[in-house]
Amino acid sequence: MANPLDLLPLIDGSTYTFFNQDVSNERIDPGKRKKLEIGADRGFYFGTVTTIIGEGGEKTELSITVDDFTADVTPEELYESGFVNPQGIAPGVSRYDTTNNIYTAIHNPQRVIGYNDTVKFAQRASNESEGVVVDATIFSIGITRPREFTKQYLKLVNPSFGDGNTVEEFLQTYEEDLQ
């Protein structure tokens, strides 16, 4: 199946919007959490990047939530497990500098991840740290007009959906299944 990102130039731009939310140079005290959230009814999540600066930064808990699925990990766990670059669906560490206490983690799935509710990214500074300074960005595409977006997407990936009734019947079934 075609990657939705590859087809965006062929889909009416009024049916979707790009979202990104970020924090820059923000301090998180020990045990405290900073959360980024993108809330659109439906969309595609396609990545997160964060840099953590400070002693104990490698123990900062990173939490990625897509709808009801949450993955919690620390830069230290990623590094010790050998995830030194983003790999497939798993996040990875692109910088692990214990001399300067700078850690960068990236989650860049090879294929975008569809969501039906929300995408969240949170960072919690370790109680063992003196606090950390973070930069973070989360990226997604929110579907602003789901019915029209789906109709156009289906026509692109499967020309047999060219008959409007076939698309309408499919969309009706799809919407009933979501309820």
CATH number at residue 61: 2.60.120
Q: Do 89 and 108 share a domain, yes or no?
A: yes
Pairing of strands 33-39, 118-124: antiparallel
Q: Do 79 and 161 share a domain, yes or no?
A: no
Question: For every one of its 179 residues, what pLDDT tens digit does the chain have, with 9 covering 90 and above?
Answer: 566 677 788 888 888 888 888 889 999 999 999 998 886 678 888 899 999 999 999 999 999 999 989 999 999 999 999 998 777 778 999 999 999 999 999 998 888 888 888 889 999 999 989 999 999 999 988 888 888 888 888 878 776 665 555 666 766 766 665 55
Degrees, nearest 5: CA angle 140-144-149? 95
Q: What pTM does this model have?
A: 0.81
Q: Do 151 and 65 share a domain, yes or no?
A: no
Q: Do 104 and 58 share a domain, yes or no?
A: yes
Treating both helix axes as pointing N-terminal to C-terminal, what angle do 164-178 and 146-157 enclose, rounded to 10 degrees? Answer: 130
Pairing of strands 113-115, 43-53: antiparallel
Tally of residues, the chain: 179
Among left, alpha and beta (phi > 0; psi -120 to 50; other), residue 54 is: left
Q: Do 41 and 62 share a domain, yes or no?
A: yes
Q: Do 94 and 43 share a domain, yes or no?
A: yes
Cβ-based neighbours of 115, under 8 Å, separated by 6 or more: 42, 43, 44, 45, 66, 67, 140
Dist CA 17 CA 144 (whole Å)? 7
Q: Give residue 179's pLDDT.
A: 57
Q: Do 162 and 138 share a domain, yes or no?
A: no
Among left, alpha and beta (phi > 0; psi -120 to 50; other), residue 128 is: alpha
Strands lying side by side in the sheet with 118-124: 33-39, 118-124, 61-66, 69-73
Q: Do 139 and 158 share a domain, yes or no?
A: no
Q: Do 97 and 155 share a domain, yes or no?
A: no
Q: Give residue 96's pLDDT.
A: 97
Q: Give residue 174's pLDDT.
A: 63
Tell me which residue range forms the domain holding 173. 146-178
Q: Do 53 and 21 share a domain, yes or no?
A: yes
Q: Do 167 and 106 share a domain, yes or no?
A: no
Q: Do 88 and 15 share a domain, yes or no?
A: yes
Neighbouring C-beta atoms of residue 85, cutoff 10 Å: 13
Q: Give residue 92's pLDDT.
A: 92
Dist CA 27 CA 53 (whole Å)? 9
**Total structural domains in the chain?**
2
